[in-house]
């Protein structure tokens, strides 16, 4: 009786194990990976508004926004966010954002040198960034929202030269994730163009002599 009972109990356990391992029920859904890619600036600033080296620190964000899974919300329900199970960034979006900002500002000529902390170079200015929003909106008008708080600080006297929040809502051609990635890239490009326009005025302030 004990042997028969053991065999009877082992049958369901085997089935459950097979289901959990994916042996039954077909192939599992594949993972999809995406990167942020911003096109180069149209013009280069000359002379550089920042006379020295600008260090781009890693942006910070809340726990959900900084994770690799793409975040979305449905309709106007701004209080409830979800994340996709199989759609991910190739790295933390804060790292991807730091890389793109650094490359863009370097090509734009915002400072004589634009580096990251890994270079261990003495910096004259620091660029901080807070990623407030990075989310897809899925409703009758699909779009993405990107909101960044960008600030430039003088390392010499710790004074803030610029601190502004930039928000972009970029519509997508369809509700597919690939369309959202293209919209994210465009939104980031728009923000960086606006940021360059704002920081280009810093050269008029004679940074080495005048406080804001």
* pLDDT computed for residue 28 by the predictor: 66
pLDDT per residue as tens digits for the range 73-118: 997 777 899 999 999 999 999 999 999 999 999 999 999 999 999 9
Arithmetic mean of pLDDT, 111-132: 95
**Whose CA is closest to 160, among 97, 197, 207, 206?**
207
Sign of CA dihedral 188, 191, 196, 199: negative
Task: Tell whether the model's pLDDT for residue 19 goes beyond 50.
Answer: no
Provide CB contacts within 8 A for 181, sequence distance 6+: 34
- In our burial notation (b when 16+ CB lie closer than 10 A, e otherwise), range 152-162 reads bbbeeeeeebb
CB 93 within 8 A of CB 83: no
Q: What share of the chain is helix, strand, coil (3-state, %, to 5)?
A: 30, 30, 35
pLDDT per residue as tens digits for the range 33-53: 999 999 999 889 989 999 999
- What's the pTM? 0.82
CB 192 within 8 A of CB 38: yes
The Cα 178–Cα 32 span in angstroms is: 10
């Amino acid at each position: 009786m004990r042997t028969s009972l053991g065999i009877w109990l082992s049958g369901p356990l085997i089935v459950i194990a097979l289901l959990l391992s994916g042996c039954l029920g077909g192939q599992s859904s594949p993972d999809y990976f995406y990167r942020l890619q911003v096109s180069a600036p149209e013009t280069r600033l000359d002379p550089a508004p920042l006379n020295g080296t600008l260090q781009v620190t890693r942006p910070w964000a809340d726990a959900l926004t900084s994770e690799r899974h793409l975040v979305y919300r449905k309709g106007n329900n701004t209080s409830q966010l979800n994340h996709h199970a199989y759609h991910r960034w190739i790295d933390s979006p804060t790292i991807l954002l730091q890389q793109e900002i650094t490359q863009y500002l370097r090509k734009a000529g915002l400072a004589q040198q634009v580096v990251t902390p890994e270079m261990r170079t003495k910096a004259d200015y620091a660029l901080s960034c807070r990623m407030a929003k990075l989310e897809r909106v899925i409703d009758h008008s699909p779009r993405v929202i990107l909101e960044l708080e960008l600030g430039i600080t003088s390392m010499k006297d710790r004074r803030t030269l610029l601190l502004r929040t930039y928000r972009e809502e970029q519509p997508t051609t369809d509700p597919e994730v690939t369309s959202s990635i293209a919209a994210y890239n465009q939104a980031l490009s728009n923000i960086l163009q606006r940021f360059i326009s704002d920081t280009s005025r810093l050269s008029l302030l004679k940074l080495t002599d005048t406080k804001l």
